[in-house]
Structure formats: structure tokens, C-alpha cells
Amino acid sequence: MIKLISTRFAAFALTLFGSSLILFLAIQVLPGSAARSALGVDATPQAIARFEAQRGLDRPLVVQYAEWLRKTASGDFGVSFQNSVSVGPELLKRLPVTLELAVLAFALANLIAIPCGIAAAARHQRQADKAVGLFATLLGAVPNFWLATLLVMLFTLKLRWLPPGGYTPFTVDPLLNLKQMAMPVLSLGLVSSALLTRIMRSSMIEVLSSDYIRTATAKGAREDVVLRRHAFRNSLIPYLNVAAVEFGFMFGSVVVIEDIFLLPGIGSLVLVGIINRDYPVLLASALTITLFVLVINLIVDLVVGILDPRLVKGGSL
């Protein structure tokens, strides 16, 4: 078990390294010039050359990447090209906003998907199953940014129940914080729940058709006992794998949702970095999001190994 955990952590480190390389190279091919974006369209060639020399942008890409990786590993995320502000403290200030949004949205998606998927599987090909299938299909076809717009029109413009955006820390005003986070969380969580509901349903149906489930039913076990003790645990294994991937997609959607609701999180920082060609800001923000997605996948791998010991005995988690 220890050896397998060590292997997973080694794979995690290699994946993080590969992701950092891909991010660095992808940013280099973005159209536009970081120097011209920072200095303005009227900047002279001499000023642009001086700007690039001061920030090492005129050096080979291999040297730039090695230097950036060395500093990032030591916790130095560099300085913004636009305002000369250290990126690290800005990330730490925005991190709680994005984490709160992502965690609440992911929790909402699972709170909807798990019971709905179980109910649909238990009532396979009946009215409840069809209703859940219709619900999941409709939500799956709705882009989260479009749903966000509808929620603003309904709860802000028409009903006037929720503020249109902004962010107040939970420690400052818990009620206002929850009001401000309600629509962003719904926008992400409802859309993500569609896929997760279908996965839980199909996984439960597959498990319920297994021989040991039929044996437990034939012995007189109650339906709720069969679902809770026998089917649910085994159906979680494929569900968690897909949920980890969906969490990554959710983090990607944070960029748009934070911009719509004026949330000062890492997602909005990514958007600012793209618009301004601010490489230190963009690299640090994108790498932070990547890190959290990889951490969630690592945790899911370990949990799946605990749920299904056969994977451990087989040599993988």
C-alpha cells in the first residue's frame, strides 16, 4: 500500500511538471506582445527592447522556463508586468474566493446527482427514472454562463432577492456572503450535476444487475438495505473517477462565472492575465488551478483504492 501511494505521488509530481511545461509553452504562442500591452501602443522599439531585457523575455525559452520553474518551486511567482505588484500575495488573497465557489458548487452537484441517480436506478424505466433523465438532459444542454444570466434576470432583476455580484468574506458577513455566492454556485453546480446524475444512475444500474445483488434480494434483504449497504459503495468507484474529471471542468468554468458575478477570485485573475498578456499573473493563476485539480484527482485515486481493495492487490490505485 505504501509503495502504491508513493507511486501515485510520483505520478502526481510528474504530471504537475508536465502541466507547467505545457502552460508555459501555450502562453508563449498567445497573440500580442506583453511589452506592448504593458507600455502601450505608442511604445518605441527601444522601450520594448529594454522592457523585455529587464524581465528576461529576450532570453531563450528554455532558460526562461528553467528560471520561472526555479522561482515558482521556491514560492516566488514573480511580479506583474502591468502594475509591478507581487503575484504571490495577490493569489493568496483571491484563493479563498475561488475555493469557496468551487467547493460549494461541487458539493451542490453531488448532493443533487447522488440521490437523483440512485432514485432513477432504483426505479429503472419507470416515471421517476424518466423524470430524472429529462432533468439531467435539460441541465446538460445549458451552458453555465447562460444559466448564470437567467438567474440574474430572475433573482436580481425580477424578484430582487439576491445581489447581482460582488464578494464579502464569510467571516465579515455570513448572510451577505451566502447571498452573493448563491447564483454563482447554482450556475456551476446545477450544470455539473447533469453529467454526474447520469453517471450515478448508470453505475447503480450496472451494480444492481450483479449476481450478488440478486442473491441479497432473494434472501429477503430490504430494498433500502440493498441500495445502501451493497450497491451504493461499489457504484461510487466509477462515479468518483468521473466526478474528479468534472471538478476539473468546473474549475475551468470558474473563469467565466467569476467575471459575470464580479468575484475577485483566481479565475478573474486568469482573465486579466490573458487580456493584458501579463505572463507572471497568467502562469501563476493557471498553475494554481491545475494544482488543485491534480490534488483532487490524487485524493480520488486514494479513496477509490480504499473502496476497492482489489485495485491495491492488483498493483494500482
Q: What pLDDT digit, counting tens, does each position of 80-139 carry?
A: 988 888 999 999 999 999 999 999 999 999 999 999 999 898 888 889 889 999 988 888
265: its cell numbers? 477570485
* Phi, psi for 208 (deg, rounded to 5): -65, -20
| % of the chain beyond a pLDDT of 70 | 94
Q: Residue 163 CB: number of other CB atoms within 10 A?
A: 18
Q: How far is CA 10 from CA 7, 72, 309, in A?
A: 5, 19, 21
Residue 164, Ramachandran bin (φ over 0: left; ψ between -120 and 50: alpha; else beta): alpha
What lies within 8 Å, CB to CB, of 232 at 6+ separation is 118, 204
Q: Which pLDDT value is given to residue 207?
A: 84
Q: What is the reported pLDDT for 40?
A: 81
State residue 277's pLDDT score.
85
- Residues 303 and 287 sit within 8 Å (Cβ to Cβ): no
The pLDDT value recorded for residue 36 is 83
- What is the residue type of 255? V
Ramachandran quadrant class, 163 (left: phi over 0; alpha: psi -120 to 50; beta: rest): beta
Q: Which of 62, 54, 72 is nearest to 16 (CA)?
A: 72
pLDDT of residue 308: 65
CB-CB contact of 196 with 242 (8 Å): yes
Give the DSSP letter of residue 153. Answer: I
What per-residue confidence (pLDDT) applies to 269?
Answer: 87
Res 33: pLDDT = 79
The domain limits of the chain are: 94-313
* Residue 295, C-alpha cell as written in the block: 490534488
Low-confidence ranges of the chain (pLDDT < 70): 1, 4, 221, 223, 307-317
Rounded Cα gap, residues 172 and 192, in angstroms = 29
Q: What is the per-residue pLDDT across 220-252, written as a single tens digit (0 to 9) for each?
A: 767 677 777 777 778 888 888 889 888 888 887
Cell numbers given for 101: 465557489
Q: How far apart are CA 122 and CA 224, in angstroms?
A: 10
Quote the pLDDT of residue 317. 44
Nearest to 261 by CA among 100, 46, 87, 107: 100
Which pLDDT score is estimated for 173? 93
Q: What is the model's pLDDT at position 315?
A: 47
Residue 310's pLDDT is 57
- 3-state SS, residue 86: strand
Rounded CA separation 100/106 (Å) = 10
Q: How far is CA 223 from the centre of its chain?
A: 35
CATH of domain 94-313: 1.10.3720.10
Grid coordinates representing 234 are 461499489
